[in-house]
């Protein structure tokens, strides 16, 4: 009798565990499907999107590399749970300063113009159609070396964290653009240190 009970118990356990794993993975899949179903999707022209103006930094007389930007896709625009897509235009001679993203990677797509990309120890000229993949924690910089605007798309995972950063550092086009005070800017950088770290400021 005892010998008969052991196989029955083992059979029940073997049956139960996969069924629990299946239910857990199925429920997770259902959540993903629900999040995807909530996304509205977008078809945007180059000029379309959520246009935003960067707030001036304290003690910086130099012009910003890109004084404005466009949020194309995130949780609010299109309802994406997985991506942040932005667009900006860098003036001739201007540079996105050396920085890194501690927690996630980024992809830069050069739309038009030409520049010099620095990625870790690599340096390479880039033109329209170039792709720059930036792993987490890797130093990156991009300078416009041409006479025309250098326009780029930038793509991140974690749209919640990235969206908060870009919205706090900008104002919606048409609204008043309040400059950062020194204290406010220091607190802003500290709050978003998991998103971005600049080396020279």
Summarised one tens digit per residue, pLDDT across range 102-127 is: 999 999 999 999 999 999 999 999 99
% of the chain exceeding 70 in pLDDT: 78
Alpha-carbon span 145 to 157, nearest angstrom: 29
Nearest to 136 by CA among 116, 119, 111: 119
Q: Dihedral through CA 56, CA 61, CA 65, CA 69, nearest 10?
A: 20
pTM of the model: 0.78
Residue 168 belongs to what H/E stretch?
helix 159-168
Burial (Cβ within 10 Å: 0-12, 13-18, ≥19) of residue 130 = middle
pLDDT value of position 31: 35
Q: Name the more confident of 162 and 32.
A: 162
Residue 190 in this model has a pLDDT that exceeds 50: yes
The topology (CATH level 3) of 50-198 is Jelly Rolls (2.60.120)
Residue 26 in this model has a pLDDT that exceeds 50: no
Q: Name the more confident of 15 and 48.
A: 48
pLDDT value of position 198: 86
Q: Average pLDDT for residues 20-28, to the nearest whole number?
A: 38
Among 37-41, 72-76, 136-140, 177-181, the range scoring the smallest mean pLDDT is 37-41
Nearest to 102 by CA among 17, 40, 13, 193: 193
């Amino acid at each position: 009798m005892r010998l008969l009970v052991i196989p029955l118990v083992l059979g029940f356990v073997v049956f139960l565990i996969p069924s629990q794993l299946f239910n857990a993975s199925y429920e997770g899949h259902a959540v993903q499907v629900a999040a995807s179903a909530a996304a509205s999707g977008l078809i945007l022209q180059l000029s379309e999107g959520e246009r935003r103006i960067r707030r001036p930094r304290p003690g910086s007389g130099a012009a910003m590399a890109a004084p404005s930007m466009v949020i194309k896709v995130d949780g609010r625009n299109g309802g994406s749970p997985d991506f942040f897509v932005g667009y900006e235009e860098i003036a001739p001679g201007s540079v996105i300063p050396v920085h890194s993203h501690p927690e996630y990677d980024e992809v830069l797509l050069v739309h038009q113009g030409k520049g010099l990309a620095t990625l870790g120890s690599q340096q390479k000229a880039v033109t329209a159609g170039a792709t720059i993949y930036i792993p987490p924690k890797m130093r990156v910089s991009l300078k416009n070396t041409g006479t025309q605007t250098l326009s780029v798309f930038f793509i991140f995972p974690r749209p919640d964290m990235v969206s908060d950063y870009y919205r706090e550092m900008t104002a919606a086009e048409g609204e008043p653009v309040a400059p950062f005070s020194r204290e406010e800017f220091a607190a802003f950088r500290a709050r978003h240190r998991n998103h971005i770290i600049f080396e020279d400021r």
